[in-house]
């Protein structure tokens, strides 16, 4: 049995795999510094007192809205919306008043 990722704790195996995939994407973005906003937001959130794990969870919330929009609207990844969601953290995307 595969060990659970320390940042992800989903109720189902599918949810666990999806969460781990999103964290892997974020770790790749941090490693590659693409987009650089991911590192900037991680540093900002940690500077506000968040642990690295919680900061990654916040970033995952910003990123995880994109697949929803892609499938719902048959659209492409919207980097501008992703960056706006990142910059709004720790306010979560579903807490924002207007559609970006």
What's the pLDDT band for 99 if we cut at 50, 70, 90? very low
pLDDT (tens digit, 9 = 90+) per residue, 28-54? 999 999 999 999 999 999 999 999 999
The DSSP annotation for 14-76 comes to HHHHHHHHHHHHHHHHHHHT-SHHHHHHHHHHHHTT--HHHHHHHHHHHHHHHHHHHHHHT--
What's the pLDDT band for 27 if we cut at 50, 70, 90? very high
Which pLDDT score, from 0 to 100, does residue 53 have? 95
């Amino acid at each position: 049995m595969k060990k659970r990722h320390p940042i992800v704790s989903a109720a189902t195996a599918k949810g666990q795999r999806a969460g781990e995939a999103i964290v892997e994407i974020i770790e790749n973005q941090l490693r590659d510094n693409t987009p650089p906003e991911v590192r900037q937001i991680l540093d900002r959130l940690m500077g506000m007192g968040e642990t690295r794990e919680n900061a990654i969870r916040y970033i995952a919330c910003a990123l995880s809205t994109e697949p929803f929009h892609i499938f719902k609207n048959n659209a492409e990844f919207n980097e501008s919306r992703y960056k706006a969601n990142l910059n709004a953290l720790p306010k979560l995307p579903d807490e924002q008043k207007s559609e970006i």
